[in-house]
Amino acid sequence: MVADDGFDGGDDDRYLYYYDPESRLTRIAYGTDGEGTSGTLTAEYRYDDLGRRSDDVARACGAWPARRGFGYRPRVVAEALGYTSDGKVVVVAIQRMEAAWPRLEGTLKPAEEETLLTKCAPTPKPSAPTPKPFDPWKLEYVPRADERCVTCQRLYDRLNGESERLYEITRRQLIKAKKQEKARKRQKAERDKADDAMSRVQAVFKKRGCPAFPARVSRGYTIYHEGQAVSRIRQRDKWWEVLWRSYRDKWESIGDLGGVVFDTAEEAATYVLDDPMGIFWR
């Protein structure tokens, strides 16, 4: 690497800027021997694209690349690249320097050189706006959500399907409420029907003056006599069946061809009170 000896910059001439393509490191050293193997390293940074830019700058300054780098008027180019003579890094302004830097062959006067440096000075960047705090509940519009992506689909549902989802929830709740209301009405009708049948059975027992009394159970009415369950009247479809408590402690029918079935609860209660089993005989 050869420095430009035609420029006498005093101590500033000993600052050399070079680029190492192998390590991709850009360095500024003081007192280098031209190969970067000696001297005091004052600045170093990595920039992959700076090698090509540095070659263009070197050709514009009248110096050509050597084996591992290049040499040129150190102080002028170092300051134009954004360095000061003490090696402190400031802002790199390579683009503006490439556009404005002429070929240096010792023709520039000090005043023109200062003007050129002023023209190539880096423009201060505007301060970046303060980033807004991240809002985890903020909804973003997704124009085309992938239906195969669960996350996107959920986000899409939150954005575009909120009203439909609420409507679906409302519809399901309405169906559930209707089913519950229907079940309540059916249960009430069954209770009313059972109460009506119970009142008719009790009317028959009261009319006959029987000491036994009926009690409502889950599947009909059980007839108790002296604290013991002796008979049961239960509804089967449209008919009423009479069962008796056998000696095997089970509910059994005494009909020859099956259960004893009647059309109405009054007929079944009358059959029980006629006492074919001899329970109420005194």
Residue 113 domain flag: yes
The 10s digit of each residue's pLDDT in 33-49 is 545 444 455 455 444 44
Residue 103 has pLDDT above 60, yes or no: no
Report the candidate in 37, 12, 41 with the shortest Cα–Cα distance to residue 28: 41
Whether 113 and 14 share a structural domain: yes
Q: Provide CB contacts within 8 A for 108, sequence distance 6+.
A: 102, 116
| pLDDT attached to residue 278 | 72
Among residues 97, 119, 141, the one where a domain terminates is 119
Residue 139 domain flag: no
Specify the number of domains making up the chain.
2
Residue 181 domain flag: no
At 272, the pLDDT band (50, 70, 90 cuts) reads confident
Residue 143 domain flag: no
More confident residue, 250 or 255: 250
| pLDDT attached to residue 93 | 40
Q: Give the whole-number percent of the chain exceeding pLDDT 90.
A: 1
At 5, the pLDDT band (50, 70, 90 cuts) reads very low
The 10s digit of each residue's pLDDT in 197-241 is 888 888 888 887 877 777 777 778 888 888 888 888 888 888 888
Mean pLDDT estimate for the chain: 64
Residue 27 has pLDDT above 80, yes or no: no
| pLDDT attached to residue 149 | 58
Q: Tell me how crowded residue 191 is: count the other CB atoms within 10 A of its CB.
A: 11
Residue 236 domain flag: yes
User: 83-97, 144-158, 261-275: which has the minimum mean pLDDT?
Assistant: 83-97
| pLDDT attached to residue 183 | 92
* Distance (Å, whole) CA 77 – CA 34: 16
Domain range for residue 42? 10-119
Residue 179 domain flag: no
At 163, the pLDDT band (50, 70, 90 cuts) reads low
Residue 56 domain flag: yes
Residue whose tokens read 């169906």: 175
Whether 204 and 107 share a structural domain: no
More confident residue, 240 or 152: 240
Residue 24 domain flag: yes
Whether 114 and 16 share a structural domain: yes
CB 82 within 8 A of CB 93: yes
Among residues 119, 142, 174, the one where a domain terminates is 119
| pLDDT attached to residue 95 | 41
Among residues 119, 134, 166, the one where a domain terminates is 119
More confident residue, 1 or 157: 157
Residue whose tokens read 């009479």: 242
